């Protein structure tokens, strides 16, 4: 559970360094859903002008898939992104 994890004490901080080599928007967050829903997460955008656009129709297709899943598997008991 603590692999690639930094524990920060109350009122503490940490400095990190990592190599960015892949254009995109990458989530940097806690792995506790209620932390994310409380705003304790961020996205790192790297080489924004090189990020490929989302293909036409992909978002609509994903919504159809999600609607089918949630209708056929009961209510999804989730208060936020669930990351």
The domain ranges of the chain are 1-83
Tens digit of pLDDT at every position of the chain (83 positions): 556 677 888 999 988 888 889 999 888 776 666 777 777 778 889 998 999 888 998 888 888 887 888 888 877 666 555 54
Non-local CB neighbours of 51 within 8 Å, separated by 6+ positions:
23, 24, 25, 45
What region, left, alpha or beta, does residue 37 occupy, with left being phi > 0 and alpha being psi -120 to 50 degrees?
alpha
| Residue 44 contacts residue 28 (beta carbons within 8 Å) | yes
Q: How far does Cα 34 stand from its chain's mean position?
A: 13
Beta strand 41-46 pairing with 24-29: antiparallel
pTM for this structure?
Answer: 0.51
């Amino acid at each position: 559970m603590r692999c690639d994890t930094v524990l920060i004490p109350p009122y503490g901080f940490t400095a990190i360094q990592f190599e960015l080599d892949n254009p995109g928007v990458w989530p940097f967050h806690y792995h506790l859903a209620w932390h994310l829903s409380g705003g304790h997460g961020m996205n790192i955008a790297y080489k924004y002008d090189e990020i490929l656009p989302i293909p036409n129709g992909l978002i609509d297709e994903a919504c159809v898939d999600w609607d089918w899943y949630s209708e056929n598997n009961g209510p999804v008991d989730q208060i936020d992104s669930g990351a």
